Amino acid sequence: MTDVTRLHSNVPPRRSRDDVGTVLRMTETARPRRQEQERATAEISELAPNVLRSQLPIEIPGLGHVNCYLLEDERGVAVVDPGLPTKDSYAALRQRLTSAGIPLRRVHTVVVTHSHIDHFGGAGWLQRETGAELITHQAFRLMWDPTEPPDVDVDDVIEDPVDAELPDDPERHHVRRYPWQTTPWGGPGIDGISLRRRMWFRAGQRFPRLRRSPRPTIRLADAQTISLAGRDWVAVHTPGHTDDHLCLFDPEHGLMLCGDHVLPTITPHISGLGTSHDPLGLFFRSLDKVADYGDAVRLALPAHGHPFTDLAGRAAAIKEHHVHRLQRLREASSELGRPASVMHMSTVLFSPRAQGAMADSETFAHLEHLRLTGEMDRRQRDGVFEYVLAG
């Protein structure tokens, strides 16, 4: 694959592995570990009546655990976000259930907040062994599973009038890609994905049942209710981090299961590879949506990190973080005075150790937001998108 970061003189080369390692060591020394990076423990804690928190180990850069919540009722238990599709993760999940005094056969429901592998991965295992219902949002999709029902159009369920009014964009292809493929903006995909991992994806596409791909049995629409832990929970569709992100609100006890939408000490990744024209704009509106619950939410239950109060305040802080990033892009474009690629502008927002396809993807989401609000112009040169301040 051609390294497009070297096609234009205004795009600096990536740091070498040695440089990145030096910066990473310096950063780790200077900055305390984030909550979301803490390693999983075997502790089971009760947060509210019939709501238990457990943690499952994950091996993903920047994350050390996923919170797996257990919602008990007279039928048994619902498991929220059952971790990765690995034997070690599934063994940890079974151990957590045993510690909580819950036989595997008592699992009647699995809730998946969104279509990232550290959240849905164990769902197929549980569903296969227990016959449990699987609850997701209507828009839940796995890129490699062609057997999923095609009758739900993401554009119809995102319910965002701003995005719906945006014109078609023939230069940007709103399709899901494998992570190693060239991106819509002309940048490289994620480097270093092993052949074994690529074969895992492709085998999942051809034989989804062998990959224990989860099969949603209940797809919730926004504001629909579902009975869990002996009371009703309200579905809150929060696209942005993914198109299909689902939060659940418990009005009786003031709980909000918020997945990756609002995290306590880090901000979730906003990808430019979603099907929405403006994923950052969607994310802003989804943050406002949960913030509007105000004092009705007494405790937020994130997928990573510790439960926290003041969901509205944290949502506002995350939004301000992205507003600041937008301003940095405006200033950088003004100083540069000429069009620049996504890969170049990514160096404005992210440190050398964070450079790569994911940083480029989030930068693209920010640049597209500025373009769609009329603040940036976009052009294409040699298959690479470039951006410059409008006017």
How many angstroms separate the Cα of 326 from the Cα of each of 10, 178, 280, 314, 317? 20, 27, 10, 19, 14
Least confident of 19-23, 43-47, 104-108, 331-335: 19-23
- The pLDDT value recorded for residue 76 is 97
Q: Write the pLDDT tens digit of every residue in 62-113.
A: 899 999 999 999 999 999 999 998 999 999 999 999 999 999 999 999 999 9
Instruction: Kindly state the average pLDDT of the residues 274-297.
Output: 94
Least confident of 135-149, 190-204, 345-359: 190-204
Confidence of residue 206 (pLDDT cuts 50, 70, 90): low
Which residue's entry shows tokens 């008990």?
72
141 close to 148: Cβ distance less than 8 angstroms: yes
Instruction: Give the CA count within 13 Å in the CB-facing half-sphere of 371.
Output: 22
- The pLDDT value recorded for residue 288 is 98
Instruction: Kindly state the average pLDDT of the residues 173-185.
Output: 68
Structural domains of the chain ordered from first start:
34-321 (3.60.15.10)
| Rg, the chain, Cα only | 21
The pTM of the full predicted model, rounded to 2 decimals, is: 0.85
Residue-averaged pLDDT of the chain: 85
Please say if the pLDDT value at position 28 is more than 60.
Answer: no
Return the structure tokens found at 137. 């949002």
Please say if the pLDDT value at position 353 is more than 60.
Answer: yes
297 close to 254: Cβ distance less than 8 angstroms: yes
CA 305 and chain centroid, separation: 15
